[in-house]
Protein backbone atom coordinates (compact mmCIF):
# COMPACT_ATOMS: atom_id res chain seq x y z
CA UNK A 1 0.00 0.00 0.00
CA UNK A 2 1.06 3.60 -0.48
CA UNK A 3 1.67 4.04 3.24
CA UNK A 4 4.86 1.99 3.12
CA UNK A 5 6.04 3.86 0.01
CA UNK A 6 5.81 7.25 1.70
CA UNK A 7 7.11 5.97 5.02
CA UNK A 8 10.17 4.49 3.33
CA UNK A 9 11.03 7.54 1.22
CA UNK A 10 10.27 10.17 3.85
CA UNK A 11 12.34 8.30 6.45
CA UNK A 12 15.37 8.78 4.18
CA UNK A 13 14.72 12.42 3.28
CA UNK A 14 11.72 14.09 4.97
CA UNK A 15 11.00 16.39 2.03
CA UNK A 16 8.73 16.40 -1.00
CA UNK A 17 9.82 19.01 -3.54
CA UNK A 18 6.81 20.63 -5.24
CA UNK A 19 7.50 22.18 -8.64
CA UNK A 20 4.33 24.23 -9.21
CA UNK A 21 3.54 26.47 -12.15
CA UNK A 22 6.85 26.17 -13.98
CA UNK A 23 7.48 25.74 -17.67
CA UNK A 24 8.43 22.30 -18.93
CA UNK A 25 12.17 22.94 -19.24
CA UNK A 26 12.45 24.51 -15.79
CA UNK A 27 10.44 21.67 -14.25
CA UNK A 28 12.70 19.01 -15.74
CA UNK A 29 15.87 20.91 -14.76
CA UNK A 30 14.73 21.50 -11.18
CA UNK A 31 13.51 17.91 -10.81
CA UNK A 32 16.97 16.70 -11.85
CA UNK A 33 18.59 19.09 -9.37
CA UNK A 34 16.32 17.79 -6.59
CA UNK A 35 17.20 14.18 -7.41
CA UNK A 36 20.90 15.06 -7.54
CA UNK A 37 20.54 16.69 -4.10
CA UNK A 38 19.04 13.48 -2.70
CA UNK A 39 15.37 14.47 -2.69
CA UNK A 40 13.71 11.32 -3.95
CA UNK A 41 10.11 12.58 -3.96
CA UNK A 42 9.48 15.31 -6.50
CA UNK A 43 5.92 16.41 -7.23
CA UNK A 44 4.56 18.30 -10.23
CA UNK A 45 1.03 19.65 -9.69
CA UNK A 46 -0.96 18.40 -12.66
CA UNK A 47 -4.07 20.53 -12.39
CA UNK A 48 -3.85 22.09 -15.85
CA UNK A 49 -2.48 21.37 -19.33
CA UNK A 50 0.87 23.01 -18.59
CA UNK A 51 1.26 20.96 -15.42
CA UNK A 52 0.49 17.76 -17.30
CA UNK A 53 3.06 18.59 -20.00
CA UNK A 54 5.66 19.33 -17.32
CA UNK A 55 4.77 16.08 -15.54
CA UNK A 56 5.11 14.07 -18.76
CA UNK A 57 8.54 15.55 -19.51
CA UNK A 58 9.73 15.07 -15.94
CA UNK A 59 8.42 11.47 -16.02
CA UNK A 60 10.56 10.74 -19.08
CA UNK A 61 13.62 12.15 -17.28
CA UNK A 62 12.72 10.20 -14.13
CA UNK A 63 12.45 6.93 -16.07
CA UNK A 64 15.73 7.60 -17.89
CA UNK A 65 17.56 8.27 -14.62
CA UNK A 66 15.83 5.77 -12.31
CA UNK A 67 14.10 8.45 -10.25
CA UNK A 68 10.53 9.06 -9.10
CA UNK A 69 8.09 11.77 -10.12
CA UNK A 70 4.70 12.37 -8.60
CA UNK A 71 1.60 14.27 -9.58
CA UNK A 72 0.02 16.71 -7.19
CA UNK A 73 -3.30 18.48 -6.81
CA UNK A 74 -5.18 15.28 -7.62
CA UNK A 75 -8.86 15.92 -6.93
CA UNK A 76 -10.58 13.04 -8.68
CA UNK A 77 -10.28 9.70 -10.43
CA UNK A 78 -10.02 11.48 -13.78
CA UNK A 79 -7.13 13.61 -12.46
CA UNK A 80 -5.45 10.46 -11.14
CA UNK A 81 -5.93 8.67 -14.45
CA UNK A 82 -4.43 11.54 -16.47
CA UNK A 83 -1.49 11.72 -14.07
CA UNK A 84 -0.87 7.98 -14.23
CA UNK A 85 -1.04 8.09 -18.04
CA UNK A 86 1.49 10.94 -17.96
CA UNK A 87 3.91 8.73 -16.02
CA UNK A 88 3.38 9.67 -12.38
CA UNK A 89 4.90 7.21 -9.90
CA UNK A 90 2.82 8.55 -7.00
CA UNK A 91 -0.15 10.84 -6.40
CA UNK A 92 -0.65 13.65 -3.88
CA UNK A 93 -4.03 15.20 -3.11
CA UNK A 94 -5.07 18.34 -1.24
CA UNK A 95 -7.98 16.40 0.31
CA UNK A 96 -9.24 12.86 0.53
CA UNK A 97 -11.57 11.18 -1.94
CA UNK A 98 -12.48 7.51 -1.42
CA UNK A 99 -13.01 6.86 -5.16
CA UNK A 100 -9.55 8.21 -5.95
CA UNK A 101 -8.04 6.15 -3.12
CA UNK A 102 -9.66 3.05 -4.62
CA UNK A 103 -8.48 3.94 -8.13
CA UNK A 104 -4.88 4.43 -6.96
CA UNK A 105 -4.93 1.16 -5.03
CA UNK A 106 -6.27 -0.66 -8.09
CA UNK A 107 -3.44 0.74 -10.22
CA UNK A 108 -0.90 0.16 -7.42
CA UNK A 109 0.05 3.85 -7.41
CA UNK A 110 1.05 5.27 -4.01
CA UNK A 111 -1.42 7.94 -2.92
CA UNK A 112 -0.92 10.63 -0.28
CA UNK A 113 -4.27 12.07 0.85
CA UNK A 114 -4.60 15.59 2.18
CA UNK A 115 -6.09 16.25 5.61
CA UNK A 116 -6.67 19.25 7.83
CA UNK A 117 -9.21 18.27 10.47
CA UNK A 118 -9.47 15.39 12.95
CA UNK A 119 -12.43 14.06 10.97
CA UNK A 120 -10.34 13.91 7.80
CA UNK A 121 -7.49 12.21 9.64
CA UNK A 122 -9.98 9.67 10.97
CA UNK A 123 -11.24 9.00 7.42
CA UNK A 124 -7.66 8.57 6.17
CA UNK A 125 -6.86 6.18 9.02
CA UNK A 126 -10.06 4.19 8.36
CA UNK A 127 -8.98 3.83 4.73
CA UNK A 128 -5.67 2.34 5.88
CA UNK A 129 -3.36 5.32 5.61
CA UNK A 130 -0.60 5.91 8.12
CA UNK A 131 0.81 8.93 6.28
CA UNK A 132 -1.21 11.98 5.24
CA UNK A 133 -0.48 15.42 3.87
CA UNK A 134 -1.37 18.17 6.35
CA UNK A 135 -2.60 21.08 4.25
CA UNK A 136 -2.41 24.08 4.55
CA UNK A 137 0.22 23.50 7.22
CA UNK A 138 1.76 26.97 7.17
CA UNK A 139 -1.55 28.59 8.09
CA UNK A 140 -2.28 25.98 10.74
CA UNK A 141 1.17 25.99 12.31
CA UNK A 142 3.28 23.37 14.10
CA UNK A 143 0.99 23.43 17.16
CA UNK A 144 -1.91 22.21 14.98
CA UNK A 145 0.25 19.32 13.82
CA UNK A 146 1.13 18.43 17.41
CA UNK A 147 -2.53 18.61 18.43
CA UNK A 148 -3.59 16.32 15.56
CA UNK A 149 -0.86 13.82 16.33
CA UNK A 150 -2.04 13.39 19.95
CA UNK A 151 -5.30 11.53 19.16
CA UNK A 152 -3.73 9.91 16.07
CA UNK A 153 -0.30 8.71 17.26
CA UNK A 154 -0.01 6.17 14.42
CA UNK A 155 -0.57 8.81 11.73
CA UNK A 156 2.46 10.51 10.23
CA UNK A 157 2.04 13.88 8.57
CA UNK A 158 3.74 15.63 5.69
CA UNK A 159 3.40 19.38 6.26
CA UNK A 160 2.61 21.13 2.96
CA UNK A 161 1.62 24.67 2.07
CA UNK A 162 3.45 27.63 3.50
CA UNK A 163 6.51 25.73 4.68
CA UNK A 164 9.65 27.84 4.40
CA UNK A 165 13.16 28.05 5.77
CA UNK A 166 11.79 30.11 8.65
CA UNK A 167 9.33 27.46 9.90
CA UNK A 168 10.58 24.12 8.51
CA UNK A 169 12.62 23.28 11.62
CA UNK A 170 9.56 23.74 13.86
CA UNK A 171 7.49 21.43 11.64
CA UNK A 172 10.24 18.80 11.54
CA UNK A 173 10.48 18.89 15.34
- The C-alpha atoms of residue 25 and residue 132 are separated, in whole angstroms, by 30
Crossing angle (nearest 10°) for helices 24-36 and 49-65: 40
Residue 33 known to be catalytic:
no
Close Cβ partners of 93 (under 8 Å, ≥ 6 residues apart): 72, 73, 74, 75, 100, 111, 112, 113, 114, 133
- The C-alpha atoms of residue 55 and residue 39 are separated, in whole angstroms, by 17
Residue 56 known to be catalytic:
no
Query: CA dist 90 to 8, 81, 83, 139, Å?
Result: 13, 11, 9, 25
The residue annotated as part of the active site, out of 33, 56, 120, 133, is: 133
Q: How many CA atoms lie within 13 A of 169 on its CB side?
A: 2
Query: CA dist 173 to 119, 168, 170, Å?
Result: 24, 9, 5
Contact 91, 70 (CB under 8 A): yes
Positions annotated as catalytic residues are: 43, 133
Amino acid sequence: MSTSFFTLHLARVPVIAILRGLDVGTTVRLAAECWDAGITLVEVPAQDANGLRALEAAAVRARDTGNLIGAGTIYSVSDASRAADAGANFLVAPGINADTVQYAAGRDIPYLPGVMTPSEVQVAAALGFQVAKLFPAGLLGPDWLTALHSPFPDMNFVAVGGISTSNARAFLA
